[in-house]
Structure 1
Amino acid sequence: MLLEDLYRLMKTGHVQAQGIVDTMTQPVVVLDQHFSVTTANNAFIKAFEIERDDILSQDFFRLGNGQWDIPELRQLISSIIPRAAAVIGFEVKHDFPTIGRRTFLVDARRLVHPDDNSPNIMVIFDDVTEHQRHDAEMDFIVAELRHRLRNLSAVVESVVKNTRTDDPAVARFKEALLGRLDITFQAQEVAALGGVAEFEALLRGAAGATVSERLECSGPSIELQSSKVLPVSMILHELGTNALKHGAASVPGGKIRVSWGLGAGPQDRTLLVWQWREEAGPRISEPERKGYGTELIEGLAAHMGGSVELSYPPSGFTATIKIPL
């Protein structure tokens, strides 16, 4: 129901309208052109711990010993009548006499009934105190987790780096482990923020600086939710590591073309589809056995409900990966 509809109903059928207004969980008050209270719903009465008879026909800005006489709010509401304007989401932080320190988002709008030229104002209050407190607590928890994660990553990397590796096979394992740990911790940093990551930026960061110089990218701007950042980063890191060791990035002149876009999947799901195609690299053939990197790529894609197609033509390795967004 539009505010105008609600106000019109209040003018033509007060009892019915008051019942509708009283079902609203947000505090609502209607002011006349002199800013006197004409009506208020039960949520307003309860929220500010007042009696209805004590506020009707009273100046809004004098209620509760002037608790609403806030200069910025007075100016905004005063501008509604002459300008037919609206106030949306104006934040009020105040120490109220009866309910203490609270934060409200205030919406106010001019309402004029067709049969009455006297303008009125409907004001709606949204108490966001607890919501803001919860957000602040979550920000603190996330910041603390990120801090501890960084400390943990530093300890783990230090232990691995300082482990003696006289055996060449162990040295190669150590190098691969450090790379995977690094990309894992970087991706966790992004995911911990709870936001989104742009695919191309994620691609270039996960592939590494050396491989990134060989990339030729084409595709639209696509954002990945935080839950996809870690597995996608690890897949891209494995592809980049393989290209650097055995593929197109291991020789001068080698190129890696990466293209991506959106596709349709089962059950009307939207898929991110990307192809990694290496060119001008060393001649390759399909490996006799599946390595850990390949198993990791396939396992991560399957975990996200996606699929992987790997091919090994002599001209260069190709991977086609599909994951649901």
Structure 2
Amino acid sequence: MILEDLYRLLRAGHVQAQGIVDTLTQPLVVLDQVFCVTNANNAFIDAFKVDRDDILGRSLFSLGNGEWDIADLRTLMAEIIPKTAAVVGYEVTHNFQTIGKRTFLVDARRLVHPDNNSTSILVVFEDVTESNRERAESDIILAETRHRMKNLFSVIRALAMQTQTEGYTAKEYRDAFLGRIDLALRAQEIAPGEASADLSALLDAAVTATGGNRIHIEAGPSTTLPSSKVLPVSMMFHELTTNALKYGALSVPEGRVRLSWRIEESDGLTMLVCEWREEHGPTVRPPVHRGYGTELITATAKHLGGSAEQRFDARGLIANIKLPV
């Protein structure tokens, strides 16, 4: 074999090897013993927005006017590589001038030659910036979901503990409990997370699903409630609606309820005043004992810093609920 034939074989082998390297989709560079770039594939050129002629023969750490002088990358090359034949998945994050902040998993290994005397290092970069971002977003969503589920279960447990059992049949308890759970879910839809809620929408969701069109809501001034008050306020008016269906105006076909609100100033505080007025129902008599509904409404209003008063007028129940806004 003459020298020209040997040269052609070597050149063909080089071209073939270069072709294989360029077909790889992950950015790849080959470094010599002093970490100078001896080869780079097209994926590396495209990923890092560099020119091949500008990087061949130069130290990896001097590329991009020195922006490749990355402490983690130097540690990988100078300390880890000499101690082991390969490193897989070494994470490097850096803010590049041309492509911005990116995170790469770096695989580095010595090139294996038959004489086992290779000093070249093959370095592959896997861009995991987007996958890391998506994973972080998924973790945030999962944590928020767990937090909300925990809160929801706490609400359901509280509803179960507060729903009256004495004198109730199993069916009555079930219906009352499920009604309150349904209300809690509707309140979550009105004000998800930390959002506030429009009072008009809140009252509509709290009473019309149960009382239907026989509850007339007379719109008052535009009022917004913080998320912390959405469920308690919903519970109070749901309780008034339930009692009206059982014992009050809504227990007869001709019965009606008027619900209105206004804003008042009292002792330097801005108060929301809601009035619940039942009409055309059966004759009302004051109860002998304060029932669960009355206790819930009174205690909830007090907890929110306000008050609740119920007047058992013979023509129909009148309830006034005052809350600071």
- Please, what TM-score do these two structures have when normalized by structure 1? 0.52
Cα distance in 2 for partners of 1:200, 1:304 equals 19
State the Cα distance separating 1:169 from its structure 2 match.
2.9
Q: Pick one of 132, 140, 143 that aligns with 1:141.
A: 143
State the Cα distance separating 1:292 from its structure 2 match.
0.7
State the Cα distance separating 1:230 from its structure 2 match.
1.0
What code does the residue aligned with 1:258 have?
L
What code does the residue aligned with 1:247 have?
G
Please name the residue that 2:237 is paired with: 236
**Contact 2:207 2:215 (C-alpha < 8 Å) held by counterparts:** no
Please name the residue that 1:204 is paired with: 204
Cα distance in 1 for partners of 2:146, 2:189 equals 12
Gap runs ≥5 in structure 2: 1-63, 68-93, 103-135
Count of residue pairs the alignment pairs up? 198
**Change in 2 beyond 3 A, CA 1:283/1:147:** same
What code does the residue aligned with 1:145 have?
H
Please identify the structure whose Cα radius of gyration is greater: 2
Cα distance in 2 for partners of 1:233, 1:138 equals 29
Cα distance in 1 for partners of 2:155, 2:265 equals 38
State the Cα distance separating 1:198 from its structure 2 match.
1.2
Q: 3-state SS of the aligned residue for 2:275?
A: strand
**Contact 1:153 1:185 (C-alpha < 8 Å) held by counterparts:** no
Cα distance in 2 for partners of 1:142, 1:244 equals 38
Please name the residue that 2:74 is paired with: none
What code does the residue aligned with 1:276 have?
W
Please name the residue that 2:18 is paired with: none
Cα distance in 2 for partners of 1:210, 1:187 equals 14
What code does the residue aligned with 1:182 have?
D
Q: 3-state SS of the aligned residue for 2:320?
A: strand
What code does the residue aligned with 1:226 have?
S
Cα distance in 2 for partners of 1:156, 1:284 equals 31
1:79-129, Cα deviation, whole Å (9 max, x unpaired): xxxxxxxxxxxxxxx955499639xxxxxxxxxxxxxxxxxxxxxxxxxxx
State the Cα distance separating 1:135 from its structure 2 match.
9.7
Cα distance in 2 for partners of 1:228, 1:155 equals 18
1:41-86, Cα deviation, whole Å (9 max, x unpaired): xxxxxxxxxxxxxxxxxxxxxxx98x9xxxxxxxxxxxxxxxxxxx
**Change in 2 beyond 3 A, CA 1:306/1:251:** same
Please name the residue that 2:101 is paired with: 101
What code does the residue aligned with 2:193 have?
L
State the Cα distance separating 1:187 from its structure 2 match.
2.5
State the Cα distance separating 1:236 from its structure 2 match.
0.9
Q: 3-state SS of the aligned residue for 1:289?
A: coil
Residue 222 (1) aligns with residue 223 (2): yes
Cα distance in 1 for partners of 2:179, 2:305 equals 25
Cα distance in 2 for partners of 1:216, 1:258 equals 6
**Contact 2:210 2:242 (C-alpha < 8 Å) held by counterparts:** no
**Contact 1:208 1:237 (C-alpha < 8 Å) held by counterparts:** no
Cα distance in 1 for partners of 2:139, 2:192 equals 15
Cα distance in 1 for partners of 2:140, 2:266 equals 35
What code does the residue aligned with 2:186 have?
Q
Q: 3-state SS of the aligned residue for 2:169?
A: helix
State the Cα distance separating 1:264 from its structure 2 match.
1.4
Please name the residue that 1:271 is paired with: 271
Runs of 4+ deviating beyond 4 Å: 134-140, 147-157, 188-192
What code does the residue aligned with 1:265 have?
S
Q: 3-state SS of the aligned residue for 2:282?
A: coil
**Contact 1:214 1:254 (C-alpha < 8 Å) held by counterparts:** yes
Please name the residue that 2:61 is paired with: none
State the Cα distance separating 1:244 from its structure 2 match.
1.1
State the Cα distance separating 1:195 from its structure 2 match.
0.9
What code does the residue aligned with 1:250 have?
S
**Change in 2 beyond 3 A, CA 1:168/1:271:** closer
- Please, what TM-score do these two structures have when normalized by structure 2? 0.52
Cα distance in 1 for partners of 2:307, 2:184 equals 21
State the Cα distance separating 1:172 from its structure 2 match.
1.9
What code does the residue aligned with 2:144 have?
V
State the Cα distance separating 1:229 from its structure 2 match.
0.3
Please name the residue that 1:59 is paired with: none
State the Cα distance separating 1:273 from its structure 2 match.
0.8
Q: 3-state SS of the aligned residue for 1:299?
A: helix
Gap runs ≥5 in structure 1: 1-63, 68-93, 103-133
Cα distance in 1 for partners of 2:153, 2:324 equals 33
State the Cα distance separating 1:259 from its structure 2 match.
0.9
**Contact 1:206 1:236 (C-alpha < 8 Å) held by counterparts:** yes
State the Cα distance separating 1:151 from its structure 2 match.
8.1
Q: 3-state SS of the aligned residue for 1:287?
A: coil
**Identity, % of aligned positions:** 43
What code does the residue aligned with 1:240 have?
T
Q: 3-state SS of the aligned residue for 1:312?
A: strand
What code does the residue aligned with 2:308 have?
V
